[in-house]
Amino acid sequence: MAFPVNQLRNDFPILSTQVHGKPLVYFDNGATTQKPRQVIDRLVQYYETENSNVHRGAHHLSNLATVSFEGARNFIAQYINAQRTEEVIFTRGTTDSINLVASSFHSFIQKGDEVLITAMEHHSNLVPWQQLCKNKEAHLCVIQVLEDGMLDMPVARKMLSPKVKILAFTHISNVLGTINPVKELVAEAHRYNIPVLIDGAQAIAHVQVDVQELDCEFYAFSAHKAYGPMGTGVLYGKSEWLNKLPPCQFGGEMIDQVSFDKTVFNKLPYKFEAGTPNVADVLGMETALRYLDTLGIKNIQQYEDGLLEHATSSLLKIPGIKIIGRAKQKTAVISFIVEGIHPYDLGTLLDQMGIAVRTGNHCAQPLVESLGLNGTIRVSFGLYNTLSEVDYFIDSLKRAINMLL
């Protein structure tokens, strides 16, 4: 059965937008995805019929909101195959999730210890660990990336040792599209009892995420990368680790008992959810993941792989283009440069033709600079993109190149 992309496009109101008099072609899904009507309607429904603060309320609306909120947690736990519902912590997104772990990890890092990351990390999975190492006089160690966009696995294995207190790496590179060998890296780290955090921001909408199969200690993702609202996301953590980590934010909800002398913190997951939660957007995130679940993430991946293959082969026929990142295992992201043309200039011309792409270092400056570049043009596909859009992009790109050369 063919993937019903034309039918699905009707679910996304923004796709009917005109940009500079041209139909919108949205190829910036790596930055954020558009939202289906189902998600938008869920936000409206909450504020019109359920709006109330959750937990401990004795009145009808509070009970209603609490049931919906905790129901979302239960579904999301099932969606990523967490062993326990309380292993799902609601956060503001991937960045917030990673910062939560890094901030709470202080007591597990001593002077001279090592934190291991990769050279392809988004700043969100680099800077928190860099600052932790700086504060604790520990060492930030970096697994390098090979020319094809894959990790140097033989070197990675040699870098793992009892000195490493946590391994943090991205599931899928937001620049290269590389799908990292997650299970292999986790298994290698566990030989030394090293906990593993995975940045799943670019994975959650494109590949199946099964945290028990991956066996990672922590997994972080954002709703807005998966057709949900901005400003909310998830930190999954194995309960044994979440129970060991101290909370890094304090206030309402995350306490059990308080006196002027001492505080007893709440149980999981509430220990890490200080303050009033973003209830509406959590419900929107649940709706978005249900949307993906109905379509089937493997069906989505297969369809997006077709877009990737068609776009890649078409780009390689254009003189002067170099694709950055040619890993065998890759998802629907293409970063490229055109000889003699600045990425921003091309991005600006493509925008005039109605095409949204991303230019720059994509919040992965060390990676881009290590490749000898000052930026790339990035196209990133979603489930509503079409082959005809790819063809229009290729034709428009040729026109833009001719204008600039």
Report, as residue numbers or ranges, the catalytic residues: 363
User: What count of residues does the chain have?
Assistant: 405
Q: Alpha-carbon distance 208 to 200, whole Å?
A: 11
Q: Alpha-carbon distance 112 to 118, whole Å?
A: 19
Q: Quick one: 365 exposed, middle or buried, by C-beta within 10 A (0-12, 13-18, 19+)?
A: middle
Contact between 353 and 399 (Cβ < 8 Å): yes
Neighbours of 182 (CB within 10 A): 23
Q: Alpha-carbon distance 265 to 263, whole Å?
A: 6
Element (H, E) at 41: helix 37-45
Shortest CA distance to 336 belongs to which of 133, 114, 149, 90?
Answer: 149
Contact between 35 and 26 (Cβ < 8 Å): no
The radius of gyration of the chain's CA atoms, rounded to the nearest angstrom, is 22
Contact between 337 and 8 (Cβ < 8 Å): no
Which residues lie closer than 8 Å to 167 by C-beta, 6 or more apart?
116, 117, 160, 185, 189, 194, 195, 196, 197
Q: Which two tokens stand for residue 122?
A: 């988004």
Neighbours of 13 (CB within 10 A): 12
Contact between 43 and 284 (Cβ < 8 Å): yes
Contact between 357 and 24 (Cβ < 8 Å): no
Please name the residue that has the structure tokens 């956060």: 91
Neighbours of 190 (CB within 10 A): 16
Shortest CA distance to 29 belongs to which of 288, 381, 384, 358?
Answer: 381
Contact between 312 and 59 (Cβ < 8 Å): no
